[in-house]
Structure 1
């Protein structure tokens, strides 16, 4: 489909138990009545770093595509919460407009998961691990007053939704549209004051390294960019040293230690 931006999958390619990971499956309800299928990965008690990460993934697939990524964080002591947006994976069905850059309802989904996990999982630090479209949702969530979010880890960060649509349509020959004015997102980006770590690909033409560097330039809030050689959302592959994504996770740990309150 030429216009297709959002491309969900209902089938799971793998599950956490296939890697021998300890996890819990549950359904988190949204205020408007959708059930979001959720996996909570628990670290080894001796390694538990009391930090919770909620994954807000991009516009395609489902959470099963990130089991190996989640495992890399769990092995270093993180509690990882992954969920499927409405219309994705085994969450409630939803009439998705595939030509939208994102659905505003996905923000409701992320907010519901953040609220549930913040209330029910003991932690000292709480962050969103956001990828591509998920960075839009994480930014909108973190820009809200009293949002219980301590930091954002981002890859493929969308710095301007209007610019994003223009690039996608020009470079990929699509006809993607915005679900709401780009001005709302621009305001949200300015309002985010929490620590932000951005992984940026040298070969990404849509969410560029230059965009990421612009987010950091002249900002007083703690923001850092980690460039890597490769394409869009290939940071785990590019930053693997001895095991999948170990260099990526090491950069995250370093950033959190440097910005420990």
Structure 2
């Protein structure tokens, strides 16, 4: 019988999900990789050295997709990584209902529902739930209002389910990367300079996430100024209000938003 641990990674077709998969293989895990597009999943499989049996084509926002993932995981699942996500930025008044619903479904409702559906397999393995959040789940940024709200919700869910499952043998790790160089960067690239954002590679995010997962940490934040800002936000949020509010009103930021609006 193999002692190799199985990890299910959602949103594995690109970006952080692909990097998490590649790192998982390096560390000796057996990944199941989930996503909506077969060609993207095949690209991840090739890069990670996996065969097509590791691929589960499924939309995690639908009951049918989650049923497919539960069947693929089987009776035991060692690690569930809720990574699938999406992003829309700009003035809140510019975000339509479709964008809001898409972010809510993908970033919050899907990980909650999939975790619920995977609980029997996770409990059987005394496994670990890993939720990929964001620094914006602590530091609420202007023009990322809806996205921040979803990531705040995911952080709250992580704390709540950790406490609900205490004593069950199932652990929970919340990972909060800062902005990352992925395809989603195009959604906010004009804001990087005026908002003084630091971007990490997907590979760095994956490495730090796996360090936290293997150490059984409750949460993981990036090394650097953001970790300090998270502490300030939790203790003295009015200071963050002043600093980030000034960035939001700065003309360079407003000009960048106009660029995004015209794109």
When normalised by structure 2's length, the TM-score is 0.40
**Larger proportion of helix:** 2
**Larger proportion of strand:** 1
When normalised by structure 1's length, the TM-score is 0.40
The structure whose Rg is larger is: 2
